[in-house]
Amino acid sequence: MTEPLAFGMGAGLFYIHIPYMQVSGGPMISFRSMPGGIFRRTCKSLNIELERKKFKNQLDAQIYLDKKIEEGIPVGCQVGVFHLTYFPKEYRFHFNAHNLIVYGKEGDNYLISDPVMEEVTTLSSFELNRARFSQGVLAPKGHVYFPKKVGKIDKTTIQKAIISGINRNIIYMYRAPGPIIGATGIKGTANKIRTWRDKLGPRKAGLYLGQIVRMQEEIGTGGGGFRFLYAAFLEEAADYLQEDRLLPIADQMTKAGDLWRSSAVQMAGIYKGRLTEQKDYDNTADIMCEISEVEREAFKQLAKLKLK
Amino acid sequence: MKKKDTPQDKSALEGHTRDVCYVKNKDGKYETVLSSGWEVKSAALDNAWDDIHEQVELARKAVLSGEKSPIYFYFIKQLMDFQVIAGYTGFWKVSIKKHMTPKGFKKLSEKKLAIYAKTFGISIDELKNFKG
């Protein structure tokens, strides 16, 4: 099992620009579907039954976690990033949909494997409790989860999981209507960007664009707004399914990722104050329109394959 | 992205971790490589923090000039929104807004002050005697 496979089976690729809402004073944009949803779908299609639990108070949550660790079960925990002491300070916002694995305890310290960190790390019980009960949007409420029953996973299961992931992703990126979601959503954002210079002024427009870049290149996304990760998935999928027609589509996704990176460079020119003209905003929007086309076409091709 | 194009710029990740990138190797296959950071992203993050520091400065001035209470300052300083602060304190948004005014702040009981102090991770003394 690899990260791209898990991402693709869970239909991870997405684009959404939620209008009228803001996160930390910028546009609310996401390049992937909800991490909990990806995980749930992937587990379901691999016949992995999960045990999940949320808690009302910290003490119960800790007792439960300690018991599971004692039984030798590594436990997934949802945490808020703001209180994660080992995170770089600059990344510590009130973001609650982060997940880590607790795999042991030594004295008062929990042994932690955090996907964002290169090395395993530790948190004291006070620190972990605080992070498990962080507050705000999507507050974790001590949420823990671990596999309860793992069914038989053979090649057919994996093939089926890959196909169902792809088909769901076609709905997200290609079939979903409206200027908010999927490939057309990218165009929707592009059209907004054209107006930002006059509407928001250069300072705020710069912050908005910076926000898009930060979402796109968040740590652990593999770069290019998850597009490279999805391309890697398609590449693996081609191998598993013995389906070479997936390879040119993987290349399309790589192209989309590369274009996202160039759009980020263009946006950086604006928020660093080097580019200030309306045409610079238009250029950014044009790249995004191109991305929209490339991704639409890629998922259209995927839909045409009619994988079963 | 090609493997040789992986950015290795200085960033806030230094001393903490490195970022996993999915890149194409020489054979045109995907593999992962670790990146110390990308200047384009760092600039966006720095920009966001400049803005936060600016807002904190404004909040500090607002408290010192008697427009706002220290609750407001720490609320801004700790990057909170109302859902976050309401979650930690258990107070309603309207009450919190009142506590953010000097008048409402004066009326706060020791017990409520203690809740705020704990939320912000400071002492009651620091909260009451705002020095900026």
Average pLDDT across chain B, whole number:
96
Region A265-269 average pLDDT: 97
Instruction: Give the domain range for residue B124.
Output: 52-128
Q: Does B84 touch chain A (CB under 8 A)?
A: yes
Please list every residue in chain B whose beta carbon sits closer than 8 Å to the beta carbon of residue A224.
Answer: 1
Per DSSP bridges, beta strands B19-24 and B30-35 are antiparallel
Region A154-159 average pLDDT: 94
> What is the reported pTM?
0.93
Q: Say whether pLDDT at B86 is over 80.
A: yes
Give the pLDDT score at A84.
Answer: 95
Residues B17, B68: one domain? no
Residues B73, B113: one domain? yes
Residues B59, B120: one domain? yes
The three-state (H, E, C) secondary structure of A174-221, written as one string: HHCCCCCEHHHHHHHHHHHHHHHHHHHHHHHHHHHHHHHHHHHCCCCC
Give the pLDDT score at B132.
Answer: 75
Q: Which of these, A33, A253, A217, lies nearest to B38 by C-alpha position?
A: A217
* Chain pair A-B, CB pairs under 8 angstroms: 113
Asked if residue B20 is part of any domain, the answer here is yes
Q: Are A223 and A40 in contact (CB under 8 A)?
A: no
CA distance A223 to B64: 44
Please list every residue in chain B whose beta carbon sits closer than 8 Å to the beta carbon of residue A213.
Answer: 40-41, 44
- Give the residue from chain B lying closest to A226, CA to CA: B22
Give the pLDDT score at A34.
Answer: 84
Asked if residue B84 is part of any domain, the answer here is yes
Q: Would you identify the CATH topology of the domain A49-150? A: Cathepsin B; Chain A (3.90.70)
Q: How many CB atoms lie within 10 A of CB A148?
A: 11
**Residue B75 belongs to domain with CATH number:** 1.10.260
Instruction: For chain B, give the percent of residues with pLDDT over 90.
Output: 98
Q: What is the dihedral of CA A276, A29, A251, A39, to 10 degrees?
A: 160
**Cβ within 8 Å, pair A24-B47:** no
Asked if residue B45 is part of any domain, the answer here is no
Which tokens go with A174? 């290609």
Could you say which of A207, A219, A224 has the minimum Cβ distance to residue B47? A207
Residues B112, B87: one domain? yes
**Cβ within 8 Å, pair B23-A93:** no
Task: For chain A, give every domain's residue range.
Answer: 3-43+153-305, 49-150
Residues B71, B120: one domain? yes
Confidence of residue A173 (pLDDT cuts 50, 70, 90): very high
Q: Say whether pLDDT at A20 is over 90.
A: no
Region B89-104 average pLDDT: 97
Instruction: For chain A, give the percent of residues with pLDDT over 90.
Output: 90
Residues B30, B67: one domain? no
Residues B15, B76: one domain? no
State which amino acid sits at residue A173: M
pLDDT (tens digit per residue) in A40-56: 999 999 999 999 999 99
Burial of A48 (0-12, 13-18, 19+ CB in 10 A): middle
Asked if residue B19 is part of any domain, the answer here is yes
Q: Does B58 touch chain A (CB under 8 A)?
A: no
Asked if residue B94 is part of any domain, the answer here is yes
Total tally of structural domains belonging to chain B? 2
Q: Say whether pLDDT at A60 is over 90.
A: yes
Region A280-300 average pLDDT: 97
Residues B60, B106: one domain? yes
> Which are the contacts of A220, defined by CB distance < 8 A and separation ≥ 6?
A115, A116, B19, B20
Region A139-152 average pLDDT: 94
Could you say which of B38, B48, B79 has the minimum Cβ distance to residue A207? B48
Region A152-178 average pLDDT: 94
Q: Tell me what ipTM this predicted complex has.
A: 0.91
Give the pLDDT score at A218.
Answer: 87
Could you say which of B29, B32, B44 has the minimum Cβ distance to residue A214? B44
Residues B72, B15: one domain? no
Confidence of residue A220 (pLDDT cuts 50, 70, 90): confident
Burial of A251 (0-12, 13-18, 19+ CB in 10 A): middle
Residues B107, B60: one domain? yes
Give the pLDDT score at B26.
Answer: 94
Q: Does B77 touch chain A (CB under 8 A)?
A: no
- Give the residue from chain A lying closest to B83, CA to CA: A136
- List helix spans (H) across A71-151: 125-132
Per DSSP bridges, beta strands A144-150 and A121-124 are unpaired
Give the pLDDT score at B61.
Answer: 97
Q: Is the dihedral of CA B77, B55, A216, B41 positive or negative?
A: negative
Asked if residue B58 is part of any domain, the answer here is yes
